[in-house]
Structure 1
Amino acid sequence: MAPEDFDPGPLILPPEDPVEWPGWRETLRAWREEKRREIDLSSYERPEFAWMRDGAVCGMAMLFDEEFRDVDAYLERHQREFGGLDALVLWQAYPRIGIDRRNQFDHYRLAPGLKGTVERLHERGVRVFMGYNPWDTGTRREPVPDAEAIGRIAGEFGFDGVFLDTLPGAPEDLRAVLDRVKPGIVMESELALAVEGLPHHHASWAQWFEDGEAPGVLRNRWLERGHTMHLVRRWDHDHSGELHLAWMNGTGVLVWENVFGSWNGWSDRDKSILRAMSAVRRRYAEQFGRGDWEPLVPCTLEGVYASRWSYGSVTLWTLVNRKGETVEGSALPIASDGTVRLFDLIRGIELDHAHLRIPGRGIGALLALPSRLVDDEFLAFLSERRQSPLSDGGRTELLPTRLSPLPGGDAFEPVVARFRARECGEYGPAPFSSAYPALHFERRISMLAS
């Protein structure tokens, strides 16, 4: 297929027949070369935006969440359970906004010690996004256009990025405003970003992308490797699909457990997968960011798929097991030959051949490394990986709901409330059975009160 006839969507699915994959990869390469001649992507080489290349794991924090009051404890939990955060969105208004005339920007101004919080996040190596809600039109108006108001908030509190809620791209004048505030403020769209938006948006969400059995290729990531994408399915209990797609595309995910007041905690298995992904990705950032990427290379294990990443003399394969049970065997037709040694980076062991053991819905990582590069520091990394095996554990415990007795008695009585609700909750489990619930629905809750 000629590049001009190829018009891919945000997620490019491969042909069903693997025999057709080599031709499909050639089409992808030709299309990328053609598009890169048409679109100026030079902004990705600007040093002020380099931090976003390493921003693969992004968290989403409700700014007034009780857990977030202790920023260090919040980050330490995410380090322990997820392998750490590279960036964090501080979500301020929805669903609290609307009870009075205060607008989305007021909610940042009202947050106690917000500037110090952002500074502390920076000290801990975490970049910070503010949110922009374009639908906030019924509250108090700012004396300046929204783009200018965003710039003022970003400058006042030191934000590094702007998350564009409900938008496929930024308002036309926002990039120029942010560049005046400080260099390197990243814009990230919630909805799928068109390729024409890549020069000015250095990140985007990949939300509710429908993948196939063989993982697809993220179009914008394929076109520009410096563009970071965050896979997210906020209401799913099983996040292995997002993790698989991110791993095969060398990009990141969004960690979001408190979803507007509903708790949707990650399973121990999914947390362990992300910890492993993060450790490998951070060590081999050049492989993922600048190396030669070959998607869906031949793999001999049934239900397992692989991408190859080559940079310099080092080659890395990322693999995913689509099956629900453990798969074990020879995955690739390669072997250690003395000058090049093979390592399973997930299990932290050396291999003679590419014999891998990948748990159900788990991931693999195979490294071909010249013997001269096997040093004490690398062996220490392998030792750390051996201490962090993948888990097959179930759901995480819910955060406890705290009930405080009121003066005058300790007895609690049930209180029942019925109301019209949006996609928000009261720190219990998410009440939705579908991936994306209706925004408005009738809700009935029963809680104890004194």
Structure 2
Amino acid sequence: MKLPSLKCCWPLLLALTLPSQAQDTRHVPHGSYTQLAIPAPACLTMNQPWEGHWNPCSTADHQDWLQDLRHWRDERRIRVGYDGSRYARPSAAWTQSSFMQAQMMVEDRYFYDPASRRYTVDRYLDDLVQRFGGIDAVLVWPTYPNIGLDDRNTIDMVRSLPGGIPAVKQMVADFHRRGVRVMFPMMLWDQGTRALAKSWPDELAALMKELGADGINGDTQDGVPLAFTLAADKAAHPLVFQPEGLPSDEALAWNLMTWGQYTFPFAPTVDRYKWLEPRHMVNISDRWNRSKTDDLQFAFFNGVGWESWENIWGIWNGITPRDGEATRRVAMLERSYARFLVSPDWEPHYPARQYGVFTSRWPLADATLWTIVNRNEYDSDGVQLRVPYQTGARYFDAYHGVELAASRDGDGVLLSFPIEARGFGAVLMTNAPPDASTVASLEKMKAITARPLRDWSAEWAALPQTQTPVASTKPASSAPAGMVEIPAGPFDFTVRGLAIEGGNSVGVDVQYAWEDGARRFHQRSMQMPRFFIDRYPVSNAQFKAFVDATHYHPADDANFLQHWQNGSYPAGWGNKPVTWVGLEDARAYAAWAGKRLPREWEWQYAASGSDGRVYPWGNDWRADAAPQPATGRAVATPADVDSHPQGASPFGVQDLVGNVWQWTDEYSDAHTRFAILRGGSSYQPQGSIWYFPQAYRNDQHGKLLLMAPGRDRAATVGFRCVTDAR
């Protein structure tokens, strides 16, 4: 059937398919409602000569732009039926001054001490106070990148933290004692591990209530659905939700916080969500950039916060000393004047007198604050602002902590003060003498700004990593029972890490002793000495012999031999690789047996020989050479260690790939410990790219972040041993 022409109706159809917006708006982008940023007036950024004639913004230009934005905001609120009542809840008041939020890996060595087996919250927070003035909230991250190593789900990853729920609850209380709010993440993409017993909203509401936590970050989420807020309310423990973005402006009503993942043009953009709801808190998240000046300037201009995310999945991207000092100053100002930064009459891009200096005006009934950033690469001095004249008003350079001498200019006054290159400024106008808290803030700012930011280094540096030493064994002249001789010979050790993020930046993956920094891709020509390696991974029966002989029991026994009952393995499991053993347990067994764990390149040489083959058996995958992958939600029972002889390496070493991961070397830097796992396991949770990646190839390895023995043990990790040769 021939369809009628739609040509005559095209303008109407186009209008119907455009995103809902204020029909007469000229300056807000006519794009998707997920657009986070509202551009500054075009006249604020100088044209190059070939881009056409440029005139700086006039007062009329600014008023036209501002009126247009206000019109758009008023109409947009009507269009989405906006209800901002949740922002007035006492339980949510903390969000409106939560300017500095840290995303913190639970594996960070400043946060947990495995020797004393306790959370060291004070040590963690004291470090942040010393380096950049501390935080208002923390996002405690216990899941990715380790999730998917076995079938523990998002909830299980919290419950398996050291000390279990009682210790985690005390950890949350320790943060609260220091005035820091606590959030945990949720991963709705986690649909491949163990299924939840109840709905996601109910599970999370119950867990957060049990812990006493304050909120939840929605990882990868474009808005946390209202059902989660309602579930928390029903549990009588209201929570704040912080997705990465929003699917619609209507969701502002129940998502009281978001991340700001910006681009940074010269003239600061206006945050869409903050403009629609001035009480909304945005924490700018920009984890990979090594300079945070843009983040801090856009946050200060918009009256919002910053996400200090230094430990990125065990990759350290620490802020520079200059950024640390800038953060301290911005945080102090925002905390001191937080009441201004929710002003419903916020005026972004209030006219400044100097090119490249950008200002937001935050008026209240009794006083007004201006937050100012200098985007230029040079200092700015002289007249910066012209503000309305008010009889009896006093003006303060709130950044430098000094009172300003205003120069009368008709119905206004001119204010002069310096702002250093890529720096910050703030002005306070008050009709009454400053109160005690304002005086205290001025005095503190005067003290800490006595030195310019340029006195602090802006140079970024990676953290060096070191390998945990491996002691040699008593050398053997011939292969001990159950071991295979690996002859001396040349070896091209080529391997890459499978970390999902970070590209090949310095700091990703591992730093071997011969390298000057961590990186993803590694290659070294080696002359391998002769050694002996277990033909098979250590079995449950072998490990039981060790336990029976030594009565070994670790101090941190959480999850130790979790699959055993009454001191023994399940029937029929004697010849299966032992799992639920941590790195310390494996080392203890090896020492008892007169052996040690293999260095990673020894494991790889034993698996590949000297011909660079992709898999132990050759260059093509063979389904009969390894266990069948387990793609359900549960970890499969391991195969017997000798059940796939077709998978043997050139030296006859078996069960190297696809049954259980195997411990090798341990590395650490000042903030993270991790172990290199080899061989992969049969468990392959489905449905997300974010699960712990498998490493079946000889030139791949996994990097497992370490926290505590009980936490590190898994249903999919075992080990084999090595003995040195004469």
TM-score when scaled to structure 2? 0.56
Is 1:186–2:278 an aligned residue pair? no
Q: Give the 3 Å change call, closer, same or farther, for CA 142–377 of structure 1 in structure 2.
A: closer
Q: CA deviation at 1:224?
A: 0.7
Q: Give the 3 Å change call, closer, same or farther, for CA 196–235 of structure 1 in structure 2.
A: same
Q: Where do residues 332-351 of structure 1 align in structure 2 (5 Å cutoff)?
A: 332-334=385-387, 339-351=392-404
Q: Residues 163 and 187 of structure 1 are in contact (CA less than 8 Å); yes or no, is this contact kept in structure 2?
A: yes
Is 1:85–2:85 an aligned residue pair? no
The CA distance in 2 between the partners of 1:173 and 1:377, in whole Å, is 40
Match of residue 96 from structure 2: 53
User: Which structure has the bigger radius of gyration?
Assistant: 2
Match of residue 71 from structure 2: 30
The CA distance in 2 between the partners of 1:193 and 1:56, in whole Å, is 23
Match of residue 426 from structure 2: 365
Q: CA deviation at 1:427?
A: 12
Match of residue 10 from structure 1: 36
Q: Which amino acid in the other structure matches residue 345 of structure 1?
A: A
Is 1:378–2:438 an aligned residue pair? yes
Q: Give the 3 Å change call, closer, same or farther, for CA 95–443 of structure 1 in structure 2.
A: farther
Q: CA deviation at 1:338?
A: 8.2
| 1:351-410 deviation digits (Å, cap 9, x = unpaired) | 21422211211111111123x42355533322211221252221355445354434459x
The CA distance in 2 between the partners of 1:183 and 1:214, in whole Å, is 41
Specify every segment of 5 or more residues in structure 1 that has no aligned partner in the other structure, as ranges. Answer: 432-440
Q: Where do residues 390-405 of structure 1 align in structure 2 (5 Å cutoff)?
A: 390-392=452-454, 393-395=457-459, 397-405=461-469
Q: Residues 192 and 206 of structure 1 are in contact (CA less than 8 Å); yes or no, is this contact kept in structure 2?
A: no
The CA distance in 2 between the partners of 1:156 and 1:289, in whole Å, is 32
Deviating more after overlay: 40-49 vs 296-305: 40-49
Q: Which amino acid in the other structure matches residue 341 of structure 2?
A: F
Give 1:316's match in structure 2, choosing from 369, 379, 393: 369
Specify every segment of 5 or more residues in structure 2 that has no aligned partner in the other structure, as ranges. Answer: 1-20, 30-34, 44-56, 113-119, 407-414, 474-491, 510-518, 525-599, 602-664, 667-726
Q: CA deviation at 1:3?
A: 3.1
Q: Residues 320 and 460 of structure 2 are in contact (CA less than 8 Å); yes or no, is this contact kept in structure 1?
A: yes
Q: Which amino acid in the other structure matches residue 100 of structure 1?
A: D
The CA distance in 2 between the partners of 1:153 and 1:425, in whole Å, is 35
The CA distance in 1 between the partners of 2:396 and 2:248, in whole Å, is 38
The CA distance in 2 between the partners of 1:205 and 1:120, in whole Å, is 25
Q: Residues 262 and 428 of structure 1 are in contact (CA less than 8 Å); yes or no, is this contact kept in structure 2?
A: no
Q: Residues 344 and 365 of structure 1 are in contact (CA less than 8 Å); yes or no, is this contact kept in structure 2?
A: yes
Match of residue 101 from structure 1: 151
Is 1:418–2:461 an aligned residue pair? no
Percent sequence identity is 32
Give 2:310's match in structure 1, choosing from 257, 264, 287: 257
Q: Residues 268 and 391 of structure 1 are in contact (CA less than 8 Å); yes or no, is this contact kept in structure 2?
A: no
Q: Which amino acid in the other structure matches residue 179 of structure 2?
A: G
Q: Residues 225 and 289 of structure 1 are in contact (CA less than 8 Å); yes or no, is this contact kept in structure 2?
A: yes
Q: CA deviation at 1:152?
A: 2.3
Q: Residues 62 and 351 of structure 2 are in contact (CA less than 8 Å); yes or no, is this contact kept in structure 1?
A: no
Q: Residues 420 and 443 of structure 1 are in contact (CA less than 8 Å); yes or no, is this contact kept in structure 2?
A: no
Q: CA deviation at 1:81?
A: 2.1
| 1:193-212 deviation digits (Å, cap 9, x = unpaired) | 521101110001111x2233
The CA distance in 1 between the partners of 2:505 and 2:208, in whole Å, is 29
The CA distance in 1 between the partners of 2:360 and 2:391, in whole Å, is 24
Match of residue 224 from structure 1: 277
Q: Residues 341 and 362 of structure 2 are in contact (CA less than 8 Å); yes or no, is this contact kept in structure 1?
A: yes
The CA distance in 2 between the partners of 1:41 and 1:374, in whole Å, is 31
| 1:271-319 deviation digits (Å, cap 9, x = unpaired) | 2222112111112111111352111111111211111111122111111
The CA distance in 1 between the partners of 2:388 and 2:66, in whole Å, is 25
Q: Which amino acid in the other structure matches residue 444 of structure 2?
A: E
The CA distance in 2 between the partners of 1:296 and 1:405, in whole Å, is 57
Match of residue 436 from structure 1: none
TM-score when scaled to structure 1? 0.89
* SS of corresponding position for 1:94: coil
The CA distance in 1 between the partners of 2:365 and 2:204, in whole Å, is 42
Match of residue 195 from structure 1: 249
Q: CA deviation at 1:227?
A: 0.8
Q: Give the 3 Å change call, closer, same or farther, for CA 267–336 of structure 1 in structure 2.
A: farther
Q: Residues 265 and 395 of structure 1 are in contact (CA less than 8 Å); yes or no, is this contact kept in structure 2?
A: no
Q: Give the 3 Å change call, closer, same or farther, for CA 12–377 of structure 1 in structure 2.
A: closer
The CA distance in 1 between the partners of 2:201 and 2:521, in whole Å, is 36
Q: Give the 3 Å change call, closer, same or farther, for CA 421–379 of structure 1 in structure 2.
A: closer
Q: CA deviation at 1:89?
A: 0.5
Q: Give the 3 Å change call, closer, same or farther, for CA 427–3 of structure 1 in structure 2.
A: closer
Match of residue 485 from structure 2: none
The CA distance in 2 between the partners of 1:64 and 1:264, in whole Å, is 15
Match of residue 297 from structure 1: 350
Q: Residues 181 and 214 of structure 2 are in contact (CA less than 8 Å); yes or no, is this contact kept in structure 1?
A: yes
Structure whose residues are more often helix by fraction: 1
The CA distance in 2 between the partners of 1:192 and 1:39, in whole Å, is 14
The CA distance in 1 between the partners of 2:459 and 2:367, in whole Å, is 37
Q: Residues 335 and 352 of structure 1 are in contact (CA less than 8 Å); yes or no, is this contact kept in structure 2?
A: no
Structure whose residues are more often strand by fraction: 1
* SS of corresponding position for 2:67: helix
Q: Residues 300 and 331 of structure 1 are in contact (CA less than 8 Å); yes or no, is this contact kept in structure 2?
A: yes
Is 1:68–2:111 an aligned residue pair? yes
